[in-house]
Amino acid sequence: MELTRLTARELGGQLIRGEVSAQEAVQAYLDRIAVVEARVQAFLQRDPEGASSQAVAVDERRAAGEDMGPLAGVPMALKDNLCTRHLPTTCASRILEGFRPPYDATVTARLRAAGTVLLGKTNLDEFAMGSSSENSGFFPTRNPWDLERVPGGSSAGSAAAVAAREVAFALGSDTGGSVRQPAAFCGVVGMKPTYGRVSRYGLVAFASSLDQVGTLTRDVADCALVLAAICGVDPLDATSAREAVPDFPALLEGGVRGLTLGVPREYLGQGVEPGVRENVRRAIAALEDLGARAEECSLPHTEYALSTYYLIAPAEASSNLARYDGIRYGRPAAHDDLLSLYGNTRREGFGPEVRRRIMLGTYALSAGYYDAYYLKALRVRTLIRQDFLRAFERYDLLVTPTSPTVAFPLGERTRDPLQMYLADVCTVPVSLAGLPAVSLPAGLSGGLPVGLQIIGRPFDEATVLRAAYALEQGAFWTRTPPPEEVGA
């Protein structure tokens, strides 16, 4: 079988057994990238020389008898807001063009220690602010299922690279749905762990109380494998949780018999495309056939989640992005004095969506408006989290669509920010509550993937993955590959 068609777990097994070398695996992926990347445009930067050197090192260590683990030699990619000391980290923004961090993000370091091979850094909406990749400061990424449609965002390049078989897996970041929504649009598995489960050290901040590193993989077993490699407490991140990390791959086989599933009515109402609703209901029926029990429930504060998010996230972005002043961070623009340095650097370096969110956030935090907007949003966030926690007193998991629509055409929503923001209406509440959730493929609508979102209790990723794995194994339509025209 062609190596790029193997899952990360399958490829890792062949590497361990000596059936293929890391150098052969890397070359297979580099060859695949050479065929499809010009059309998909998933990468901001590639590192074929560095990848080849890493592969040689893995093969040498394995030949010397070292136990390298299940991911050693497996090619992968990182979203370009995760710091890499040997490659630029730009956040797809002109203001950081060419910036090379002096350190690795913790997840970068953990994947290096696991022996994975980094092929490059993937495209995103600038500073992770967007739902389509069209806010990238460089170019949009295209959906491998239909090159005239968006791949979702902001982890667009990571999702598209996995779907197009340019990498075996990738990491992204999820603030309001930026791993799960592109996973749904590209027909792959995207996991946002509980806030604090994975270290944020070296993840360039957008909204610090929401940002979380997540995984994009071909299937649920790969998701469990990669998650196990990156989770765990980190003394470099004060928000990193001290919860013990389960052996996620070993816990996949339990099935769903006896689990109770809540289906929040607010997520299947107005605005959800009929094809999405039909596929989600079919997936829920499949879970019931496997032994779970599902019933309708309510999360009454869901209707306030989007407006709450778009007060809290821009407010935190306004604070976090204040450091990009042309002195501490960011390429300085031509200037006459200090104020023009600040203004010109930000005007030239930040794109329109980033500037929009900075202005929204600064307004929400300003004197006279803090209590009316930001503080009230924090209170509503608490109500949203309480809705979920009350639901979890009755249900083991909650099941919803990941996105109300399938992937939309490039350019369709660029002039209407509100329509763009609605792409995350199903994922934002989960982020506000800090809960774990996975998106997995649940069939096709109009020839495009539909995503099913499974939400769990805090730090109960194991049950989320177990249910997702059971559905994936029992439903052939969850693993449909994208059309081969991408690689033609």
Annotated catalytic residues are: 79, 154, 178
Q: Which of 224, 233, 153 is nearest to 200 (CA)?
A: 233
CA angle, residues 352, 357, 358, in degrees to nearest 5: 95
Under 8 Å between Cβ of 104 and 201: no
In 10 A of CB 320, how many CB atoms?
18
CA distance 283 to 269: 17
Under 8 Å between Cβ of 188 and 178: no
CA distance 145 to 10: 24
With H, G, I as helix, E, B as strand and everything else as coil, classify residue 438: strand
What are 293's two structure tokens? 């029990």
With H, G, I as helix, E, B as strand and everything else as coil, classify residue 480: coil
What are the C-alpha distances in Å from 254 to residues 258, 465, 469, 477? 11, 10, 9, 21
What are 160's two structure tokens? 């598209």
Cis peptide bond N-terminal to 154, omega within 30: yes
What are the C-alpha distances in Å from 202 to residues 79, 109, 128, 218, 354? 12, 10, 14, 25, 20
What are 379's two structure tokens? 């209170």
With H, G, I as helix, E, B as strand and everything else as coil, classify residue 164: coil
Under 8 Å between Cβ of 331 and 325: no
Under 8 Å between Cβ of 366 and 314: no
With H, G, I as helix, E, B as strand and everything else as coil, classify residue 213: strand
β pairing state of 397-401 and 448-455: antiparallel
Q: What is the CA radius of gyration of the chain?
A: 21
